[in-house]
Amino acid sequence: MRYDLHLHSTASDGSLSPEQLVALCAERQLQMIALTDHDTVSGLAIAREKAQEKGIHFISGAEFSCIWRRQTLHLLALGFDDQSEEILSFMAELVLIRQQRAEKISEKLIKKRN
């Protein structure tokens, strides 16, 4: 069986949209895939739909950013209910944290420039 269980789309840091990614997977004759964007499930619904159209088994996924012993770890989660209110709430928190982090980095870069 040909599969890839760690794929990223433009919903996080990938270069292809979820639709384009599934099309490429079909082109490469993958039989099972998981979309595992960083801290978001926003691309899963369309990827699932397109995978079903192409006859590809689809597994919901995400790559969660976590802090452990003051280091950022990325944990891959597969096969969870991506419509769960708890998951959606947690993802919203992660998006907010990522935005705040990006703002801090931008501020530091602006200060260095001046």
Over the stretch 11-38, which tens digit does the pLDDT of each residue have? 999 999 999 999 999 999 999 999 999 9
Pick the CATH number of 3-113 from 3.30.360.10, 3.40.50.300, 3.20.20.140, 3.30.499.10: 3.20.20.140
Query: Can you give the pTM of this predicted structure?
Result: 0.82
Q: For 76-99, how does the pLDDT look when each residue is reduced to its tens digit (9 = 90+)? A: 999 999 999 998 888 888 888 878
CA distance 9 to 27: 16
- The H or E element containing residue 36 is none
Q: CA dist 84 to 31, 88, 89, Å?
A: 26, 6, 9
Q: For 31-68, how does the pLDDT look when each residue is reduced to its tens digit (9 = 90+)? A: 999 999 998 899 999 999 999 999 999 999 999 888 88
13 vs 101, higher pLDDT: 13
